[in-house]
Amino acid sequence: MAYESVAVTPGVGAGIACDLVGGVNFQAVKIDVGADGATSGPVSAANPMPVGLLFGATAVSASVGLPIRYQVPNLGGGFLSSAKIDHAASGENAVIAGVASQTIRIHKMFFKCDGAVSVFFKDAAGGNALTGTMIVAAGESCVLDLDGEPWFETAAAGAFIINLSAAVGIRGRIYYKQSA
């Protein structure tokens, strides 16, 4: 985008940046982040604007981008990854694959079941149950909100499993951190 310059007082004074649209000059404003009298450069994908978010009484630092990614306390830095929940097989359904020497911490999740089914979460195939069995009615949903502490954590190399008592569809999204 090319900007023109228009004098603040026509004929005298400093110029301002503007964009000529349909014969009308619109002032161009670029957001810049930095201390008074200093600049870190214009806000861009490479230089995102720092913003403060508040979850409960806990201040959280994050960067605005598209799409917005969550950076929450106690993660040791970094952003949450996400995965689709879209399974319909009875038994163990691996939602997030395990990686050697890495744990999976579930921070946020929502899902809806197509029919009545019993559901529980596990750490790795054949591993420890992370919850008791929950009976979910047809069309019922479950939301685990983001609050800074993980809802579940697997052992190193363990996959995150959703176990279904019947071949009923479960759909949703899960937000997690996977690291050593």
User: What's residue 76's pLDDT?
Assistant: 58
What average pLDDT does this structure show over 26-50?
74
- Burial of residue 25 (number of CB atoms within 10 Å: 0-12, 13-18, 19+): middle
CA atoms of 8 and 67, how far apart (whole Å):
37
Set out the domains of the chain in order of their start, with CATH numbers: 4-43 (no CATH), 81-179 (2.60.120)
Of the candidates 111, 98, 115, 109, the one whose C-alpha atom is nearest the C-alpha of residue 165 is: 115
- Which residues lie below 8 Å from residue 79, measured CB to CB, with a gap of 6+? 69, 70, 71
- Quick one: what percent of the chain has pLDDT higher than 70? 73
- Contact of 137 with 117, CB cutoff 8 Å: no
Q: What is the mean pLDDT of the chain?
A: 80
CA–CA distances in Å: residue 47 to residues 41, 44, 63, 127, 142: 7, 5, 9, 43, 36
**Which is higher by pLDDT, 56 or 178?**
178
Grade residue 64 by pLDDT with cuts at 50, 70 and 90: very low
Instruction: Please name the helix (run of DSSP H) or strand (run of DSSP E) that holds residue 9, with its range, or none.
Output: strand 4-9
pLDDT tens profile 3-17 = 565 556 666 666 777
Q: Mean pLDDT across the stretch 147-157?
A: 89
- Taking Cα atoms as reference points, which of 77, 161, 152, 93 lies closest to residue 127? 161
Q: So what's the pLDDT on residue 93?
A: 96
**pLDDT score at 63:** 44
pLDDT value of position 31:
72
pLDDT of residue 66: 37
Structure confidence at residue 24 as a pLDDT band (50, 70, 90): confident
Condensed to tens digits (0 to 9), the pLDDT of residues 83-138 reads 999 999 999 999 999 999 999 999 999 999 999 999 999 998 668 899 999 999 99
Dist. CA 113–CA 119, nearest whole Å = 10
**Separation CA 41–CA 38 (nearest Å):** 9
Whole-number pLDDT of residue 15: 72
DSSP 124-155: TTTTEESS--EEE-TT-EEEE---SS-SEEPP
